[in-house]
Amino acid sequence: MRKLVSLFTLFSLLLTPIAMASQGGDDADSTDDSTEVEVEVEDQDATTTDDSSDSEDEEDSGSEVKVETRERVKANSAGATEIRTRIEEAVQARQEEMKSVFEERRVQFEEAVQARREAFEGDREEAKQELERIRSEFKQKLEDGREEAKQKMEQAREEFKNRIQEFSQERQDKMNSIFTRLDEVNAKVVANLSESLEKLAAILENVNDKIDTLEADGIDVSDLVTASTQAQASIDAAQTALAEQAAKTYDIDIENEEDAKEAAKVSRDELRADLDAVARFIKSAREDVRTVASDLADYTDTDDDADSIDT
């Protein structure tokens, strides 16, 4: 289970510095609020000492300040809770949307693979060439997506710097770091998932060669062909999802310094939801390749292909 766990937790680990950075800035704001309250109270105490005859009025003033401060804190807390709720709802909606996309693509690619198999039936060599063409096309799309993301990122970074130029320098540094980190995480996870997918494709090709050998020997392998078709469809769907993810960039929609933490969290959660969706495609491909490899073992009395799949 080690390899699969590492793939699905990689982006969670990579996102940790983003959460810590945005949290750090918010803690600083909390400290400032606390200091402001203390200063107000100290000023009130000083005035009381200087003019004891007005002590009752000053005490009333101090109480008003405390009440006002508490109300302001409550309002800020309520606002933050409302923002968090909207974020969670948006992420959940995005996850549900991606689940639907996942199922639709599974069906579409399975139909495409079946049509491709029928078109090249009896000509394994030509079928291999077609599959190689599709893989080359995927690699090109992946590379094009990375280049597109790089160009969009460079432009977006300058625009983002301009939007936050009125923020404190400390906040600017943190937000610029988070902005860059989001795309670094995306690129890193896409690269790892792409490598995993290439290995699955190679295993499936080896399995298909063995299925062809069995079929040439007159053995009924219709169940293996069906399982192989589903596995290839899952790989094709995962390749498309990866190419699309490689081209994505993540902006931080922020208008004022006070909303920095929540704005960063929105972008971070959006990235997490997208990577979760892509990982779902990879997981499905892995399970389907393992299934056909395990089924093949019933015919060959060896489980080498299934064992070669990282779990």
Higher-confidence position of 33 and 219: 219
Residues 118-144, mean pLDDT to the nearest whole number = 72
When computed from its CA atoms, the radius of gyration of the chain, rounded to whole angstroms, is: 28
Q: What is the pLDDT of residue 26?
A: 47
Cβ 242 vs Cβ 278: under 8 Å: yes
pLDDT in tens, 155-201: 888 888 888 888 999 999 999 999 999 999 999 999 999 999 999 99
pLDDT in tens, 246-290: 999 999 988 888 888 888 998 999 999 899 989 989 999 999 999
pLDDT > 70 in the chain, percent: 56
Least confident interval from 48-52, 136-140, 203-207, 298-302: 48-52
pLDDT in tens, 131-143: 777 777 877 887 8
Task: Give dist(CA 57, CA 262) in Å, integer.
Answer: 40
Q: What is the pLDDT of residue 122?
A: 59
Angle between helices 55-119 and 222-246 (to 10 degrees): 140
Q: Cα dist. 167→153, 175, 176, 251, 256 in Å? A: 21, 10, 11, 17, 8
Q: What is the pLDDT of residue 307?
A: 64
Cβ 265 vs Cβ 237: under 8 Å: no
